[in-house]
Chains A and B, each alone.
Chain A
């Protein structure tokens, strides 16, 4: 079994990262964080706002993602994130804007989805403590 895998992080507007030698990837799955290593069983999971960490042999790189989904196969991970930023670009201002947006969505949301938007808001707030903390 190979000890590295392919990792792609794509956003609708551009490709953010494509690494062939990922050793492990930590993904903020909707039902909890998970770490993917080469040879992982194929799976598809949606993402919650959170921190995505990529570990290669030489370095560790973090990204903030605000949602999307990840396709995992034994050969690699493809993350399709709606919005994503490398950790260096994730500043307090960006975070404040995201929270504000999530709060607005929550305030305007239909009561039937209020749980979902509340979770989104909470996740968004938690994202700050993960990324900036």
Chain B
């Protein structure tokens, strides 16, 4: 039976914890709003880019002189997994879910006898995968210094990827990130970015192919645009991830705050009971002492 003093200390410490989680929840809520705004702001560009790329890719598809980034190397032996996670923890299952999805895919690919390489973006994913897949790591992108995600960050990652692709380091690259659905639901997703796939998404109307004039040539434009398309996809993924992280943290901290509240209630009841028990005990002692006289 803990003493009254112990209980009082515990209540105090849980109260402090609750204050911290509450503050983190509010910070996450504010950051989430900002993250959503930037995701929203980036949407028009990504959509136009997607539409144009889909049209272009469709018309060049099948041509032998299509750029490698679109056509692929014709092999899928070496797979690069780009695992994008957060730089920080304390956000529920967010990092773990992405890592889990990547792990499943890596295991599947390894079982098929493919070669797997892993590039991590964000510290937490690297930590989660290091023990099992450390030998497959080929690089890490550190975004911990980045206050606000910008297109330049995405471009840096895209350049790195394309450089590796040009050197023949891998055949297929897939990014792993979370799509922000709502504060309580973030969906871990895998998306192939090299070779670029611009299939129509489900439920999307088929874009009527317009016969464009191209200046300079069609292939040249495509060569110019593909890296941008990849950077855009990475940028979108980073933004989605940012919003997901804050959303996950917000709900994790919300339930932590609630749990702390429940714990405080329970401890307070226990504290009051023990105090009452002590008073009763003292009373009994006094009364029985008086009776004995």
Cβ of B2 < 8 Å from any Cβ of A? no
A71 touches B52 (CB 8 A): yes
State which size class the interface on B falls in: 20 to 34
Cβ of A80 < 8 Å from any Cβ of B? yes
Please give, as numbers and ranges, the residues of chain B lying within 8 Å of A59 by CB-CB distance: none
A-B residue pairs in contact (CB < 8 Å), sample of 27: A8-B48, A11-B45, A11-B151, A12-B235, A13-B38, A13-B41, A15-B44, A15-B45, A29-B215, A30-B215, A31-B215, A31-B216, A42-B211, A42-B213, A43-B212, A43-B214, A44-B52, A44-B214, A44-B215, A44-B221, A45-B214, A46-B224, A71-B48, A71-B52, A80-B49, A82-B151, A82-B228
Cβ of B225 < 8 Å from any Cβ of A? yes
Residues of A within 8 A of B (CB): 8, 10-15, 29-31, 41-46, 68-69, 71, 73, 78, 80, 82
Q: List the 4 closest pairs (A to B, CB-CB), nearest first.
A: A43-B213, A12-B151, A45-B215, A14-B41
A45–B48 Cα distance when bound, in Å, is 14
A69 touches B212 (CB 8 A): no
The 8 Å CB contact of A13, one of B42, B48, B211, B214, is B42
B232 touches A12 (CB 8 A): yes
A8–B48 Cα distance when bound, in Å, is 10
Please give, as numbers and ranges, the residues of chain A lying within 8 Å of B232 by CB-CB distance: 12
A44 nearest CB neighbor, chain B only:
B212
Residue with the greatest number of chain B CB neighbours at <10 A, chosen from A8, A12, A13? A12
Cβ of B210 < 8 Å from any Cβ of A? yes
A46 nearest CB neighbor, chain B only:
B224
Please give, as numbers and ranges, the residues of chain B lying within 8 Å of A82 by CB-CB distance: 151, 228
Cβ of B150 < 8 Å from any Cβ of A? yes
Please give, as numbers and ranges, the residues of chain A lying within 8 Å of B45 by CB-CB distance: 10-13, 15, 80
A13 touches B215 (CB 8 A): no
Q: What distance in Å separates the Cβ of A47 from its nearest Cβ neighbour in chain B?
A: 10
A128–B246 Cα distance when bound, in Å, is 41
A46 touches B48 (CB 8 A): no
